[in-house]
Amino acid sequence: MIEAKQLSKTFGDREVVKHVSFNVPQGQIFAFLGPNGAGKTTTIKMLTTLLDPTGGSVMLNGFDPRENPDEVRKSFGIVFQDPSLDSDLTAYENMEIHAVLYGLKKELYRPRIEELMKLVELYDRRGDLVKDFSGGMKRRLEIARGLLHHPKVLFLDEPTLGLDPQTRNLLWTYIKDLNKKEGITVFLTTHYMNEAEQMAQRIAIIDHGTIVAEGSFEELKKQTDTNSLEEAFLKLTGHSVREEGGEGQMRDMAKMWGGGKR
């Protein structure tokens, strides 16, 4: 369902993704783990038509993002690492714009929006402006939105960052359920190792733009001779603390400008 071959990306003279290859079959939950700045978000952007690779190739749902961007775009839903809602609109309006952008008909999307918003427990707040929502509510809304057009693949880039355990639990339970019932393929990144342990059938660990290990949770433990994914992760990627990536800087900028205006 998702296939990357020798995928590479260079910004200026910095190669941040280096010859990365993996293959995620349909219906699998795949965790893509790595320290900050490892190249996870950049990889996701190349898989989702937001960035052109500088080397290698990608196929998603049988389509090449460079040749058939719109087919690829119809195939996936995404929850970005950074916020991507319009906070001056209501929750419902954000959902509705998404539905229209994906070409859904009103008769179809109305009940679907209601169903999804009830599921993430936001239907009662549908008429409220998103700027009055908490971080967790925004996240839940983004997830509901990402699922609105029945995507075959769901990308989740650190979806649970900053959420309380209750909300995290709700989200993962739902996503696991969706994966079982509808066979949706899930590509996720997270810094919470227990989430990856519980959710993912396969895990790849990326560091400095290179995949350093890949396999099931059990296989990774065996390979590294450790007892938990956390230990395996640290053994593979070392203990030194990393700089935050470009996305983090963007977030700070947004905060700086956002204080007064929104």
Partner 1 sequence: MNTIYILWQRQVKKFLRSRSRIVGALGQPLFYLLALGYGFGSIFKQAGQGNYLQFLSPGVVAMTILFTSIFGGIEVIWDKQFGFLKETLVAPVSRLNIMLGRTLGGATVATVQGLLVIILAMIFGFRPETSHLILAVVFIFIMAILFTSLGTGIASVLDDMQGFPIVMQFIVTPMFFLSGSMFPVEGLPKVLGYIVHVNPMTYAVDGLRGLLVNTHHFSYATDWSVLIVVSLIFLAIGSWLFSKIKA
Ligand X SMILES: Nc1ncnc2c1ncn2[C@@H]1O[C@H](COP(=O)(O)OP(=O)(O)O)[C@@H](O)[C@H]1O
Length of the chain: 262
Residue list 36-55, contact with partner 1 (CB under 8 A): 45, 48-51
H or E element: which one contains 14?
Answer: strand 14-24
Query: What's the rounded Cα separation, in Å, for the pair 151 and 208?
Result: 30
Do 110 and 47 contact (CB within 8 A), yes or no? no
Q: How many CA atoms lie within 13 A of 213 on its CB side?
A: 21
- Determine if 96 is a binding residue for partner 1 (CB under 8 A): yes
State which residue, 131 or 176, has the beta carbon closest to partner 1: 131
Distance of alpha carbon 136 from alpha carbon 132, whole angstroms:
12
Is the C-alpha dihedral spanning 138, 2, 15, 236 positive or negative?
positive
**Nearest distance, CB of residue 138 and ligand X, angstroms:** 19
> 185 φ, ψ to 5°?
-85, 135
* Contact call for residue 81 and Mg ion (CB under 5 A): yes
Q: Is 258 in the site for partner 1 (CB under 8 A)?
A: yes
Residue 166: its H or E element: helix 165-182
- Beta strands 2-11; 55-60: pairing state: antiparallel
Binding residue for partner 1, selected from 89, 119, 161, 212, defined by CB under 8 A: 89
- Closest by CA to 138, choosing from 95, 96, 191, is 95
One-letter amino acid for residue 147 of the chain:
L
Nearer of residues 40 and 168 to ligand X, judged by Cβ: 40
Interface positions, 68-87, toward partner 1 (CB under 8 A): 69-71, 73-74, 76, 78, 80, 82-87
Q: Which is nearer to ligand X, 124 or 243 (CB)?
A: 243
> Which segment (66-74, 161-169, 191-199, 203-211) binds partner 1 by CB under 8 A?
66-74
Nearer to ligand X, 82 or 88 (CB): 82
Binding site for Mg ion (CB under 5 A): 40-41, 81
Binding site for partner 1 (CB under 8 A): 45, 48-51, 69-71, 73-74, 76, 78, 80, 82-89, 93, 96-98, 100-103, 145, 250, 253-254, 257-258, 261-262
Binding site for ligand X (CB under 6 A): 11, 16, 34, 36-42, 245-247
